[in-house]
Amino acid sequence: MAISIILLFLPLIFFSSFSSSTIDRLSGSSSLSVEHADDVLTSPNGDFSAEFFPVGDNAYCFAIWFSEPYSEGNRTIVWMANRDQPVNGRKSELSLRKSGNAIITDAGRLTVWSTDTVSESPVFLYLHERGNLILQNSEGGVLWQSFDSPTDTLLPQQLLTKNMQLLSSRSQGNYSSGFYKLYFDDDNVLRLLYGGPEITVYWPDPELMSWEALRSTYNSSRIAFLDSLGYFSSSDNFTFMSAHYGERFQRILKLDFDSNIRLYSRKYRMDKWTVSWQAMSQPCRIYGTCGPNSICSYVPHFGRKCSCLPGFKIRDRTDWSLGCVQEFNLTCTRNETGFLKLSNVEFFGYDYGFFPNCAFGMCENLCLQICDCKGFQFKFIKHDHPSNIPYCYPKTQLLNGHHSPNFEGDMYLKVPKTLPIQETGLDCSSTVVKQLNRTYTKHQENASLKFVVRFAMLVGSVELGVIFIVLCFLIRTHRNSSAGTQNYHRITTGFREFTLSELKKATQGFSKEIGRGAGGVVYKGMLCDHRIEAVKRLNDA
């Protein structure tokens, strides 16, 4: 019997858990609340889900991710609405307005994100089977879609055009906007750009002309596209094919927080994603890997290793992208300044200029003459000549440093002659990143709400005071009433109050009648202090 009951309820449990998370559209003036776990939009094929996602302590962003396999701490996020302005975990919601606008509001009713759309006809919001969140009116017109405003991920069948960009996350645990972006430049070329304290393009190789990088600048359409089979093509003639080409694979093209763009593939609804293509195969050639004033080196079977330059210390041990800071004072006096040789170390970018056929002594003097020179790169390059030609590259900034035994050149760091050299370093694998704390911040206080809350607090305080006074009075009255039952109570007029038993005793059981009237009979009585009193017993008593 018990087994049959369990079997009877199993379908009900399964149906309840499944149906609670299958909202296919949002319409009318309805909303999705951050407080309701069942407020989830799901695509018709079940591949994608959209709801509020926790990004920190009491901080939530509305996001789209792959529904399966489901893991609370390991979701594959493909889009996020309010990535730079998370909302509170209470009373925040995504809602539709009668005006045709979809908005996200926080606990204080402040709008933190909006589609900025208007429609005279009713609108509804739904999640397409390809992972595209679409706001549509009743006539079938698309007012807004998430495919037109990507974050750091491009899905199959999603276009990247001249008005769009992919913007990396800040770190693996922080989904806010980072430093790197994929975009079409003014020459119609698809590029990767570092937008930190210093701005520079790092892919394709900035030292190459566009035609040398096999890119075309003549197609002004600026469109890039990843198809469902794993083939990527761009209007600048850049193409690549996934190592896992074909159907039955789910894919995402993602600009990772470490500045590299990668194509990830996995078998349909399987757990593990595999890198099937990446723009830069050498980890230390990825821009900004170890931050300024540092060196990246690659060790097989270990990964990347970041170390500060001699005379520098790490700025933040949990975030190598911030680099290292200088510990010495450098003057422009020639006789107080020297150079430290760093063999097989290259810093690319931020050259004061490049000087061919420049002897080592001339290059050294050139850097000494430039007060802002941080050091110089010196290497030999072989062209069509039988001997190598020396090149000099004075550096204004020390960024993108890396060590490679195959690099035929050296870096000469400008340092004080009195500097005690002590090289420091820390390991930095590709998975070690800073976990930035993200908490919900009240961005703007509501003045009316603030007044109402304060007024309610004041009224509440007054009510508590009144209740306290009344309670004290009642307690005192109760005590006085108890005393009256013991014949010690005197009313405010000064008369004495007697009980019926006391009156019976004083009149000897109402036995000595001394008078009678319309109201009742009068009896003679004697009190306990021997005073004679007349006691009238009323007829109604």
Neighbours of 391 (CB within 10 A): 17
pLDDT tens-digit readout, 488-540: 334 334 456 677 777 777 777 777 777 776 667 777 787 776 667 777 777 65
Q: What was the pLDDT predicted at 386?
A: 66
Rounded to two decimals, what is the model's pTM?
A: 0.68
Question: What would the mean pLDDT of 400-415 be, rounded to a whole number?
Answer: 90
Residue 15 has pLDDT above 50, yes or no: no
pLDDT tens-digit readout, 327-358: 998 888 888 999 999 999 999 888 998 899 99
Q: Are 154 and 255 in contact (CB under 8 A)?
A: no
Nearest to 409 by CA among 453, 472, 344, 357: 344
CATH superfamily of 498-541: Phosphorylase Kinase; domain 1 (3.30.200.20)
pLDDT tens-digit readout, 289-317: 788 999 998 877 667 789 999 999 999 88
Q: Tell me the Cα Rg of the chain.
A: 41
What are the residue ranges spanned by the domains of the chain? Answer: 15-149, 150-281, 292-427, 447-487, 498-541
Q: How far is CA 155 from CA 132, 193, 238, 448, in A?
A: 9, 21, 18, 44
Question: Out of 222-231, 260-269, 399-408, which region has the weakest mean confidence (pLDDT)?
Answer: 399-408
CA–CA distance, 317 with 363 (Å, rounded to integer): 35
CATH superfamily of 150-281: Bulb-type lectin domain (2.90.10.10)
Q: Are 311 and 421 in contact (CB under 8 A)?
A: yes
Give the confidence band of 478 by pLDDT, cuts at 50, 70, 90.
low
Matching CATH topology for 150-281 and 498-541?
Answer: no
Q: What was the pLDDT predicted at 18?
A: 38
Q: Are 309 and 330 in contact (CB under 8 A)?
A: no
Residue 173 has pLDDT above 50, yes or no: yes
Mind giving me the DSSP string for 219-257? -TT-EEEE-TTSEEEETTS-EEE-SS-SSSEEEEEEE-T
Q: Are 403 and 368 in contact (CB under 8 A)?
A: no
Q: What was the pLDDT predicted at 223?
A: 95
pLDDT tens-digit readout, 112-136: 999 999 998 999 999 999 999 999 9
Q: What was the pLDDT predicted at 11?
A: 41
Give the confidence band of 448 by pLDDT, cuts at 50, 70, 90.
low
Question: Out of 291-305, 307-321, 363-377, 459-473, which region has the weakest mean confidence (pLDDT)?
Answer: 459-473
* Three-state secondary structure call for residue 150: coil
Question: What would the mean pLDDT of 237-241 be, rounded to a whole number?
Answer: 95
DSSP secondary structure code for residue 154 in this structure: E
* Three-state secondary structure call for residue 271: coil
Going by CATH, does the domain composed of 15-149 fall within 3.40.50.300? no
Residue 20 has pLDDT above 50, yes or no: no
CA–CA distance, 236 with 183 (Å, rounded to integer): 12
Within a 13 Å sphere around the CA of 516, how many CA atoms are in the beta-carbon half? 4
Question: What would the mean pLDDT of 138-160 be, rounded to a whole number?
Answer: 96
Nearest to 323 by CA among 337, 312, 331, 334: 312
Question: What would the mean pLDDT of 76-82 be, rounded to a whole number?
Answer: 96
Phi-psi region of 296 (alpha: psi -120 to 50; beta: other; left: phi over 0): beta
